[in-house]
Amino acid sequence: MFNEERRFEQPIRWAMVGGGRGSQIGYIHRAAAARDNLFQLVAGAFDINPERCIDFGKNLGVDPSRCYSDYKVMFEEEAKREDGIEAVSIATPNKFHYEMCKAALEAGLHVICEKPLCFTVEEAEELKAIAESKNRVIGVTYGYTGYQMVHQARKMIENGDLGEIRIINMQFAHGWHSTEVEANDPGTKWRVSPEVSGPTYVLGDIGTHALYLAEVMVPDLEIKELMCTRQSFIESRTPLEDNAFVLMHFEGGAVGNLWASAVNAGAIHEQKIRVVGSKASIEWWDEHPNQLVYEVQGEPKRLLDRGHGYLYKDDPAVAADRIGCGHAEGLFESWANLYHRFALAMNATSKGETLDHLWFPGIKAGIDGVRFLEKCVESADNGAKWVDYK
């Protein structure tokens, strides 16, 4: 149902801030946006360096006169054009997200922003209020949540296949920063610098991905209180953490834990979520995203596979099969599924239609992530005490 359907008349005229040549995440934004022809890249402030911005923009087929040295200039100049941009994606280091999102919304643009959305809940709520007053969409790129099997998990939980949800075990614990790699890697250096990264490192960089997976699978789940301990095994990263553990009590009695780490030596990604119910459990692992482990108590373990007829078909996200059973889908498809929905949401919002039936990681996902980080820091920096979540 997703492939190459023309969902509205003209592609959304779209720009990027950040995501320049050599950036970690710029390419996947562009690949995801291009997948269904719902966005057209027409402008950009791709790079902190103006010459590199123009050179790279030309490389992407963007008119050099629309490659800007500064995002503020881009918003001003594009607003003067009849064919000016309608939406922008922000893929810069964290410290710019808030000011860039705010400026974009105030310029009347729809926004897709990287996580963490900003540094404080107050800022996030402000962005929400501006978006509402301007009737604009904010999408947040929790890029693992477009996978078909994540939505199969959500549907199974909604349908009661697991029984009552008791335990959620989340982790995103890689080993790539087990040594001081930032000495020679600017992309890691800013992540461990509080003024650029914000109040956390691994919790915000990867922990919120795992948290949001849980939120997608079990949307009714609300954290009641949490306790966090965080530490830096590479001393120079202090006060930011390269490892953290979080314990959570949810409203209604379920419990959860989250392990975020960049020093899990030997591990590639280890982003996993296990949801345990009173009858059965499911487990999803982003290194094998086409599969979902389904274990019913007292029965043989089952491995559910993407694209099969036995998956729930009444849910559009589960039915979002692009290449048929037996062929592996991956991160590009997951992101493309998100960008597809961002486009539908922007189009519907611009026309004054409701978004009630459209799932996508929006402003609530952004706020929830920032609140989680705030609460984790509050707990960890006060001796790992339990803190109320509200």
| Binding residue (CB under 6 A) for ligand NAD from 47, 215, 333, 368 | 47
Cα 375 from chain centroid? Answer: 19
| Binding residue (CB under 6 A) for ligand NAD from 187, 239, 252, 330 | 187
| Cα–Cα dist 274/337, whole Å | 23
Task: Report the side by side order of strands in the sheet with 165-173.
Answer: 302-305, 291-296, 280-285, 271-277, 165-173, 255-261, 243-250, 223-231, 387-388
| Binding residue (CB under 6 A) for ligand NAD from 10, 24, 236, 278 | 24
Residues composing the chain: 390
Binding flag, residue 114, ligand NAD (CB under 6 A):
yes
Of residues 47 and 321, the one with the C-beta less far from ligand NAD: 47
| Cα–Cα dist 123/217, whole Å | 27
Binding flag, residue 45, ligand NAD (CB under 6 A):
yes
SS3 state at 343? helix
Binding flag, residue 264, ligand NAD (CB under 6 A):
no
| Binding residue (CB under 6 A) for ligand NAD from 18, 57, 198, 369 | 18
| Cα–Cα dist 353/344, whole Å | 10
- Using CB under 6 A as the binding rule, the residues of this chain from 91 to 110 that contact ligand NAD are 91-94, 96
Binding flag, residue 188, ligand NAD (CB under 6 A):
no
Q: Which stretch binds ligand NAD (CB under 6 A): 17-25, 170-178, 301-309, 363-371?
A: 17-25
- Rounded least distance, CB 123 to ligand NAD, Å: 14
| Binding residue (CB under 6 A) for ligand NAD from 71, 201, 259, 360 | 71
Of residues 202 and 311, the one with the C-beta less far from ligand NAD: 202
Dihedral of CA 291/365/211/177: which sign?
Answer: positive
Q: DSSP state, 36?
A: T
SS3 state at 119? coil
Q: Sort residue 266 into left (φ over 0), alpha (ψ -120 to 50) or beta.
A: left
Of residues 27 and 386, the one with the C-beta less far from ligand NAD: 27
Q: Which residue is nearest to ligand NAD (CB)?
A: 20
Binding flag, residue 143, ligand NAD (CB under 6 A):
yes
Of residues 23 and 243, the one with the C-beta less far from ligand NAD: 23
Of residues 11 and 198, the one with the C-beta less far from ligand NAD: 198
- Rounded least distance, CB 92 to ligand NAD, Å: 4
46-68 burial, b for 16+ CB within 10 Å, e for fewer? Answer: bbeeeeebbbbbeebebeeebbb
Q: What is each CA distance from 278 to 63, 149, 317, in whole angstroms?
A: 58, 21, 25
For ligand NAD, the binding residues (CB under 6 A) are 17-20, 23-25, 45, 47-48, 71, 91-94, 96, 114-115, 141, 143, 187, 205
